[in-house]
Amino acid sequence: MPKFLPVFPLGLVAFPGEQLNLHIFEPRYKELIHDCQTEGKTFGIPAYIDDHLNEWGTEMELVSIDQVYEDGKMDVRTRGLRVFRVLEFLREIPDKTYSAAIIDYRDETMDHDSEVSSMLFGYLRQLQQLLRIDKPQLEKPSDINSFEIGHLVGLSIKEEYQLLLYPRETDRQKYLLSHLKRILPVVLETERLKQRVLLNGHFREEMPPKF
């Protein structure tokens, strides 16, 4: 069923479950955060990419206001809830300075293909080892949630938006798997190049070829 939702368009893609910290400085969004705090409202972040407001976004809830500055600016913590689609964008609404939209929520399918999850798990571990990072800390393939790793695998903002469009978890994992298969050879070659550069100028013991 369509719903009225205040919106905060940003040049990023927010995912359900994501913890997103924001620095609020525009008067209209300071008003929005105030309404979220006092009235328990949620708001939507539709992705704004290449000067275009896209129709898909994520509903967010205000978790906390960590700091309010003397000029009214504030640092806030938010959390992603659900994916929505903008049916109608309302640039102006009565008695408010911020915008809103008529939205509809999407049904999510949290299915898992064990083969896809296992392959994705392996590629993700390789990427973590190459880049020497320890997040996300996954113990087994079934721990994978594509939205939780969507910002951690080197996707462009357009690719992150494409990930948001898939309503099925298996399709999102297939998308991420395809991405990692494409970039891992590049990352591996970059790491090899770095090692060669680091060795340049050092004394090395090399076995000469035998003729």
Q: pLDDT tens digit string along 130-184? A: 888 887 888 999 999 999 999 999 999 999 999 999 999 999 999 999 999 999 9
- Please state the pTM of the whole predicted model: 0.87
Q: What is the mean pLDDT of residues 46-73?
A: 96
CB 129 within 8 A of CB 155: no
**Phi, psi (degrees; rounded to nearest 5) at 75:** -105, 125
Q: What is the pLDDT of residue 198?
A: 62
Confidence class of residue 204 from pLDDT cuts 50, 70 and 90? very low
Give 21-45 pLDDT, tens digit per residue.
999 999 999 999 999 999 999 999 9
Q: What is the mean pLDDT of residues 60-73?
A: 96
- Cα dihedral 181, 183, 186, 191 sign: negative
Q: What is the mean pLDDT of residues 73-97?
A: 97
Share of the chain above pLDDT 90, in %: 80
The residue whose two tokens read 């898939």 is 166
Q: What is the mean pLDDT of residues 69-91?
A: 96
User: What span, in angstroms and rounded, lies between the C-alpha atoms of 173 and 45?
Assistant: 23
- Cα dihedral 6, 9, 14, 19 sign: negative
The rounded mean pLDDT for the chain is 91
Query: Closest Cα partner for 163 from 172, 173, 154, 155?
Result: 172
The token pair at 113 is 């293909």
The answer for 50, left when phi > 0, alpha when psi is -120 to 50, beta otherwise, is: left
CATH of domain 3-105: 2.30.130.40
Q: What is the pLDDT of residue 200?
A: 57
Q: What angle do CA 146, 14, 158 make, to 5 degrees?
A: 80
User: What span, in angstroms and rounded, lies between the C-alpha atoms of 29 and 78?
Assistant: 13
User: What span, in angstroms and rounded, lies between the C-alpha atoms of 160 and 147?
Assistant: 9
Q: What is the pLDDT of residue 101?
A: 98
Q: What is the pLDDT of residue 137?
A: 85
| Radius of gyration of the chain measured on its C-alpha atoms | 22
For the chain, the domains span 3-105, 114-199
CB 93 within 8 A of CB 33: no
Burial of 174 (0-12, 13-18, 19+ CB in 10 A): middle
User: What span, in angstroms and rounded, lies between the C-alpha atoms of 82 and 89?
Assistant: 18
Q: What is the pLDDT of residue 131?
A: 84
Q: What is the pLDDT of residue 152?
A: 93
Q: What is the pLDDT of residue 176?
A: 98
